[in-house]
Chain A
């Protein structure tokens, strides 16, 4: 017997239902009416109770031109602007790269409210196809511009067999109470190598949601780097799947949260085939009154023998009022695998502080050095020098409190 308890629908949910209905997404509207936004009782949103945290939803975004300066400039990179969901593909493409537009969202159907919203509301997808071993960095500059808006956009990235690419997607825009809900679908071909970076540089009033799906082909090498710096409320959903044997994935992230911010990175990594290895490494730093959350789940399916997976979360608390939450999980259905997970949270090491200060380095400088050292492990593998420097600049500005 199932008992149906009607959920109370708040103003944010009511607005979303109205927008879904107006867009003709009746099934998604009905689903939201029936269950509401996820609360902490929903396992995957345990640390990020959207029903409580999402107070208001602005009007759907209209097409507009980008007026603000790019939030990040990477010298030598090919920048593709995408403003309020509309990509500009008029410019000349680097050799081996093709950009086209398709209607609708790039995401696969799955039971997640952000995925359902994006699938219903994203009107077009920017499709990028990379078939080359060129090393020019591609920068997809995704922005929510103008007055406060609810914006859904979508990118489909395909790295062809044997190709090598570095792609960074940044999220930014005007300092308004936007609700941006981004989608990225990333397919890495046979033997391809991809470094894929997601960087949230949204303004302080914004809410920023990202869902990224990764399909990793046979023998491919994928490095992902997910960084949160901006936005008051952030949730980054990462779904990765090893679909071909012999692939390797380094899934990494930096969750930097400051006064008043709530940021959640949730990873679900699925080993579906044998002989793949993965090394998720996520670092979180919290200061002021803030909350950083990481959930990482590795699923090893029954056929995925000889899987080698090691998940690590390290947290650094820079204030007593900050919260760092971590939930590593393993779900293993194969019997011949090496899997592990670990999680540590602490303050800066006192012995290290004493050592640096005993050499004449003043306390604030010593603190910054140690924090920088803590982050370096994640930034260091980004080989493109200009990109590496740009990312270090982002982290440095965060450290300086800018």
Chain B
């Protein structure tokens, strides 16, 4: 059997005294796109933060393997260099740091961590230009401070641009559709679809079925009360949309 890209077993995590993840089991094989659906407060976003290594959360039990490697002992930068990427629901504004400067620092830091040489400036510029074109990101936006004064759509497009440039193995997209109008949703989804690859997996977190019309998943998982309670094909998303989450709460209880 080949190694799955992401394997989560019995993951428990808490913030202060409150347990939020209560035994998550989830396996995403290489090249597949999985969706996690669940209502607000079910712990979906917590799962994405715990995977990326946010300090506020304490993992009390379980393992998370990225391409067979345990990542829970790593800091967020090490996880990124190992191939994990989290597209934030609310990208953070960083005043005084130009987007271009940040992109170059991130790419070269990951290359360095993997023992690769730095990307030359012309190569870097070309990659940014190519990736930016499809996402409707112009040079002017890249000169501005990272995410500062970006519209909701610009922030999400900038996240996907980072994803395209950093070429992760495993992408976690946290509520990427929130705050997007229909045109912006199309641009962002096209950007994500263009990155689908047999060697890259994705975990798409959302609570609307809408996004999954654009980014069609191989598997849909239903998340409730801190764990996966049901998994199925893409039709499961439609079922959720018509019946609501209540039915699945019983499975969690």
Does A374 sit at the interface, judged by CB under 8 A? yes
B77-121 vs A: 1/0 string, CB under 8 Å?
A: 101110001101001101111000010011001100100000000
In the complex, the answer to whether A377 meets B95 with C-beta atoms within 8 Å is yes
In the complex, the answer to whether B77 meets A369 with C-beta atoms within 8 Å is no
User: Nearest-CB distance from A22 to chain B (Å)?
Assistant: 50
Does A365 sit at the interface, judged by CB under 8 A? yes
Candidates B56, B79, B88, B97; contact of A369 at CB < 8 Å: B97
Which chain B residues lie closer than 8 Å to A372 at the CB level?
96-97
Output the residue of A352, A357, A377 with the most chain B CB within 10 A: A357
Q: Measured between alpha carbons, how far is A333 from B105 in the docked complex, in Å? A: 51
Which chain A residues lie closer than 8 Å to B75 at the CB level?
357, 363
B52-80 vs A: 1/0 string, CB under 8 Å?
A: 11111000000000000000000111011
A298-316 vs B: 1/0 string, CB under 8 Å?
A: 0000000000000000000
Does B166 sit at the interface, judged by CB under 8 A? yes
Which chain A residues lie closer than 8 Å to B94 at the CB level?
352, 355-356, 369-370, 373
Which chain A residues lie closer than 8 Å to B53 at the CB level?
354, 357-358
In the complex, the answer to whether B86 meets A358 with C-beta atoms within 8 Å is yes
Which chain B residues lie closer than 8 Å to A355 at the CB level?
88, 91-92, 94
Which chain A residues lie closer than 8 Å to B105 at the CB level?
361, 365, 369
Does A360 sit at the interface, judged by CB under 8 A? yes
Which chain A residues lie closer than 8 Å to B46 at the CB level?
none
How many pairs of residues, A versus B, come closer than 8 Å at their CB atoms?
A: 81
Does A376 sit at the interface, judged by CB under 8 A? yes
In the complex, the answer to whether A361 meets B96 with C-beta atoms within 8 Å is no
Interface size on B, residues (CB 8 A): 29
In the complex, the answer to whether B77 meets A357 with C-beta atoms within 8 Å is yes
Name A380's closest neighbour in chain B (CB-CB).
Answer: B96
User: Nearest-CB distance from A189 to chain B (Å)?
Assistant: 34
Does A351 sit at the interface, judged by CB under 8 A? yes
In the complex, the answer to whether A350 meets B55 with C-beta atoms within 8 Å is yes
Does B131 sit at the interface, judged by CB under 8 A? no
User: Nearest-CB distance from B107 to chain A (Å)?
Assistant: 8
Given A357-B76, A357-B80 in contact, is the A351-B92 Cβ separation under 8 Å?
yes
Does A375 sit at the interface, judged by CB under 8 A? yes
In the complex, the answer to whether B77 meets A360 with C-beta atoms within 8 Å is yes
Does A359 sit at the interface, judged by CB under 8 A? yes
Which chain B residues lie closer than 8 Å to A370 at the CB level?
94, 97
Binding site for B on A (CB under 8 A): 350-352, 354-363, 365-366, 369-370, 372-377
Closest 6 CB pairs of A and B: A373-B96, A376-B96, A360-B80, A360-B110, A357-B76, A359-B106
